């Protein structure tokens, strides 16, 4: 076999075949073609020409994300830097762009498709604006002559702009410790050349695009705090029938913001708060995001078994109040006020993308989850008749604050006000 130019190379210049047999010979592209069909491959048998074929050397380059910032990968801009898996969220679109370099013929039609879709790998589609309405399709036909010419300071290329949308999410691995990438990054973009676009075409029939595949999963991109309320000794126990935990301080309603726009899509996600320093206020464990989450800061009374036949609610609450007051007295032995500023941020794990390690140092940051808490305990001398006594207060305020690689969390200005909770 011979070539007419050095734009490609062959892995074998000659092969020996028995009558009726065949073999594969591979071309390796070395440089782009100058014009279409400028590579000529000639097959010789006993020095006689027995066949020729032309080829064009081109290149396909992929970018994705809101600013097309990710190179050769399908990846949503909402994916944190530390996430090794490539993913797009369900329900919303992820922009992508293809650079097609080389002298493509204007009348050539190719087909862009998503391969390896299944209930476990996840499913996705292309989102197209049709008659002003978004439509989803599994394959897109691209005609070279319809593409725009662009340049980034170098050679010109043809550009195709599109949007991917996740339909169903990737399943977590059956055993994440044995095979963490069982279903991970199995979806692939591929380009089907003329003659290859058949209903049963697979990735083996296409030109694979990008360095690796991608998954579909929803992740938290923000934490919103709202409606601060003094707890005033309210019971914070998860099991109020058997345990009574009255607490003083402030609680906030917590909203977990999903990049899919739907909270329930994060059913395989777990989120934890992290506090810096962490020795003054409780740090929560990893929890699945829910619509009734509360973030509480303050002090609890000693947990006590609550049996309404033996101890009334009021009696148990007063015992707990006395315990908290004793703690605050010890903290304020040498001063009338003690304040500390605490940084708060949130981390998450996602079983769908194999980020299942529930260790805060290796978990992923929730992008917009940074807050600063001003925590103050104080004692105030008051006159009651002829007597003087101390009242003990817990004052807490919270405001968005970037810290520990987390950007500003979400919070309205009015919800950053200081809330005072009187303990006794």
- Give the pLDDT confidence of 250-273 residue by residue, as tens digits: 999 999 999 999 999 999 999 988
Give the whole-angstrom CA distance, residue 374 versus residue 397: 5
Residues 180-213 pLDDT 10s: 788 999 999 999 988 888 989 999 999 899 889 9
Which tokens go with 246? 């009255």
Backbone angle region of 323, left / alpha / beta, with phi > 0 → left and psi within -120 to 50 → alpha: alpha
Which tokens go with 252? 């906030």
Question: For the residues 60-85, what does the mean pLDDT come to?
Answer: 90
Instruction: Give pLDDT, residue 218.
Output: 97
Percent of the chain scored above 70 by pLDDT? Answer: 88
SS3 46: coil
Instruction: Give pLDDT, residue 360.
Output: 47
Give the whole-angstrom CA distance, residue 209 versus residue 193: 13
Residue bearing the bigger pLDDT, 370 or 27? 370
| Triad 133, 214, 203: Cα angle to 5° | 90
Query: CB 177: neighbour CB atoms within 10 A?
Result: 7
Are 240 and 306 in contact by the 8 Å Cβ rule? The answer is: yes
Burial class of residue 19 (count of CB atoms within 10 Å of its CB; 0-12, 13-18, 19+): exposed
The beta strand positions in 231-362, using DSSP E, are 234-235, 243-244, 246-258, 269-276, 293-300, 304-305, 337-350
Query: CB 51: neighbour CB atoms within 10 A?
Result: 10
Q: Model confidence at 285, in pLDDT bands (50, 70, 90)? A: low
SS3 125: strand
Which tokens go with 302? 């000693």
Least confident range from 41-55, 80-94, 297-311: namely 297-311
Instruction: Give pLDDT, residue 81.
Output: 85
Q: E strand or H helix at 95, and its extent?
A: strand 93-101
Q: What does the radius of gyration of the chain's CA atoms come to, in whole angstroms?
A: 32
Phi, psi (rounded to 5 degrees) for 321? -60, -45
Q: Are strands 368-384 and 407-408 parallel, antiparallel or unpaired?
A: parallel
Which tokens go with 47? 């020095």
pLDDT at 305 over 60: no
Calculate the average pLDDT of the chain.
Answer: 84
Burial class of residue 61 (count of CB atoms within 10 Å of its CB; 0-12, 13-18, 19+): middle
Least confident range from 75-79, 308-312, 366-370, 381-385: namely 308-312
Question: For the residues 20-40, what does the mean pLDDT come to?
Answer: 75
pLDDT at 314 over 80: no
Question: For the residues 209-228, what does the mean pLDDT come to?
Answer: 95
Burial class of residue 324 (count of CB atoms within 10 Å of its CB; 0-12, 13-18, 19+): buried
Residues 85-122 pLDDT 10s: 999 999 999 999 998 877 667 777 889 999 999 999 99
Are 339 and 270 in contact by the 8 Å Cβ rule? The answer is: no
Are 270 and 355 in contact by the 8 Å Cβ rule? The answer is: no
Give the whole-angstrom CA distance, residue 106 versus residue 358: 53
Least confident range from 59-68, 173-182, 203-212: namely 173-182
Residues 141-159 pLDDT 10s: 888 777 888 877 767 778 8
Question: For the residues 212-228, what does the mean pLDDT come to?
Answer: 96
Give the whole-angstrom CA distance, residue 111 versus residue 126: 12
Backbone angle region of 385, left / alpha / beta, with phi > 0 → left and psi within -120 to 50 → alpha: left
Are 391 and 424 in contact by the 8 Å Cβ rule? The answer is: yes
Question: What long-range pairs does 53-57 form, CB within 8 A, spacing at least 24?
Answer: 55/8, 55/27, 56/102, 56/103, 56/104, 56/105, 57/7, 57/8, 57/29, 57/30, 57/31, 57/32, 57/33, 57/102
Which tokens go with 400? 């968005």
Residues 329-339 pLDDT 10s: 888 877 787 88
The beta strand positions in 146-245, using DSSP E, are 148-150, 157-168, 187-192, 207-216, 220-230, 234-235, 243-244
| Sheet hosting strand 39-45, strand order edge to edge | 2-3, 39-45, 48-55
Bridge partners of 4, per DSSP, are none
pLDDT at 132 over 80: no
Instruction: Give pLDDT, residue 20.
Output: 79
Instruction: Give pLDDT, residue 204.
Output: 92
Bridge partners of 399, per DSSP, are 372
Question: For the residues 176-182, what does the mean pLDDT come to?
Answer: 76
Residues in the chain, total: 424
Question: For the residues 388-412, what does the mean pLDDT come to?
Answer: 94
């Amino acid at each position: 076999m011979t070539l007419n130019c050095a734009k490609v190379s062959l892995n074998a210049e000659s092969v020996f075949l028995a009558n009726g047999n065949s073999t594969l010979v591979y071309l390796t592209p070395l440089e782009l073609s100058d014009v279409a069909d400028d590579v000529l491959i000639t097959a010789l048998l006993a020095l006689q020409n027995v066949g020729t074929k032309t080829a064009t050397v081109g290149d396909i380059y992929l970018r994705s994300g809101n600013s097309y910032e990710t190179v050769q990968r399908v990846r949503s801009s909402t994916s944190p830097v530390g996430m090794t898996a490539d993913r797009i969220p369900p329900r919303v679109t992820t922009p992508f762009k293809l650079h097609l370099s080389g002298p493509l013929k204007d009348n050539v039609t190719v087909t862009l498709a998503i391969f390896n879709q299944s209930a476990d790998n996840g499913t996705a589609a292309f989102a197209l604006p049709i008659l002003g309405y978004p439509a989803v399709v599994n394959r897109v036909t691209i005609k070279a002559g319809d593409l725009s010419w662009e340049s980034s300071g170098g050679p010109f290329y043809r550009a195709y702009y599109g949007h991917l949308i996740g339909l169903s999410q990737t399943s977590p691995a059956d055993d994440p410790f044995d095979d963490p990438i069982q279903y991970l990054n199995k979806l692939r973009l591929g380009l089907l050349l003329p003659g290859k676009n058949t209903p049963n075409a697979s990735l083996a029939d296409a030109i694979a695009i990008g360095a690796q595949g991608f998954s579909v999963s929803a992740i938290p991109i923000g934490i919103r705090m709202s409606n601060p309320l003094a707890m005033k000794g309210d019971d914070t126990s998860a099991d109020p029938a058997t345990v009574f935990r009255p607490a003083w301080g402030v609680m906030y309603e917590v909203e977990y913001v999903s990049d899919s726009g739907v909270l329930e899509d994060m059913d395989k996600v777990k989120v934890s708060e992290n506090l810096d320093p962490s020795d003054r206020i409780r740090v929560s464990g990893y929890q699945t995001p829910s619509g009734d989450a509360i973030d509480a800061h303050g002090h609890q009374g000693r947990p006590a078994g609550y049996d309404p036949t033996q101890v009334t609610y009021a009696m148990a609450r007063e015992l707990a109040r006395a315990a908290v007051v004793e703690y605050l007295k010890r903290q304020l032995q040498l001063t009338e006020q003690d304040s500390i500023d605490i940084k708060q941020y949130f981390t998450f794990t996602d079983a769908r993308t194999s980020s299942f390690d529930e260790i805060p140092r290796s978990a992923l940051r929730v992008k917009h989850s940074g807050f600063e808490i001003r925590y103050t305990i104080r004692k105030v001398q008051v006159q009651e008749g002829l007597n003087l006594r101390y009242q003990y207060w817990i004052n807490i305020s919270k405001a968005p604050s970037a810290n520990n690689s987390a950007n500003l969390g979400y919070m309205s200005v009015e919800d950053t006000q200081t809330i005072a909770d009187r303990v006794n």
